Amino acid sequence: MKNKILFFDIDGTLYNSEKKLPRATYNAIQKAKENGHEIAIATGRSPFFLKPVLEELGLDSFVSFNGQYVVYKGKVISKRPIPMETIDKLVAQATNENVPIVYLDDVKMTSATKDDERVQVSMDSLYYPMPEVDEEYYKHSDIYQILLYVNEKEEGNYASLFPELKFIRWHKFSVDVINKDVSKAYGIEQFLKNTDFDIEDAIAFGDGLNDVEMLQSVGTSVAMGNGHKKAKEAATFVTDHVDHDGLALAMKKLGLC
């Protein structure tokens, strides 16, 4: 088999429902590496949230922020920060409506809002401390993602006001905000421009709505049995639930390990 490049979502794909990496998954990925395949992460997470899984699997390549920030073998190969003028307008709208905002660059989160319960609850779900407060942090750092604390109705209003942005719900209180034309599929494109791999050599594994474009774009794709209906519809095939070693089973089926 020609060597492949494999892209893995984290939550619900690599990590099981206990937020742990199953032993069968770990072994399958190490075997795939031994067989000459390249391994990368493709996630909505920020680079600073990736350190544990990168270290556990011995990886240095990833698509983060749903394609906004891409690293190959430790080197940044693509960056798409949200334009400052767009953030200016978003902040003005959010401030006017008393909507909390959290900024994410490649090293940390910074909140524009102090002591909001919605932010606290969402940070608790991530096991992450409350961010430091700096309303104007975006003016002196590249921002790759924003957490906007809106309900579904408000989300629709913001989507209408900001057609240049994409809103991806990750929590009942909050959505991820990134550039409209960026996705995990876009991030994978940047990988392929910087390697000898073709799109047919790319295999993607995912479970969520933010995986759909990635699953549709690569040569072969696998949706987890626990995945969203739209992810399953987008994939080449569906494997078992992540808690039942679905990822390792799919990799064996594809002859990767």
Whether the CB-CB separation of 34 and 67 falls below 8 Å is answered with no
Spell out the residues 6+ positions from residue 78 whose beta carbon is closer than 8 angstroms to its own: 69, 70, 187, 190
Specify the pLDDT at position 126. 84
pLDDT at 132 over 80: yes
Q: What is the pLDDT of residues 215-239, one digit of tens each?
A: 999 999 999 999 999 999 999 999 9
Q: Looking at residues 145-172, what average pLDDT do you find?
A: 95
Show the tokens assigned to 181.
């034309």
If pLDDT is split at 50, 70 and 90, which confidence band does 242 have?
very high
If pLDDT is split at 50, 70 and 90, which confidence band does 127 have?
confident
Match 């983060």 to its residue by tokens: 64
Show the tokens assigned to 82.
């949200």
Whether the CB-CB separation of 138 and 43 falls below 8 Å is answered with no
Q: Is 9 a catalytic residue?
A: yes
SS3 content of the chain, % helix, strand, coil (to 5): 40, 25, 35
Its pTM stands at 0.92
Within 10 angstroms of residue 8's Cβ, the number of other Cβ atoms is 25
List, as one string, the DSSP characters of 50-92: THHHHHHHT---EEEGGGTEEEETTEEEEE-PPPHHHHHHHHH
- Rounded Cα distance between 199 and 218, Å, is 6
Helix, strand, or coil (residue 100): coil
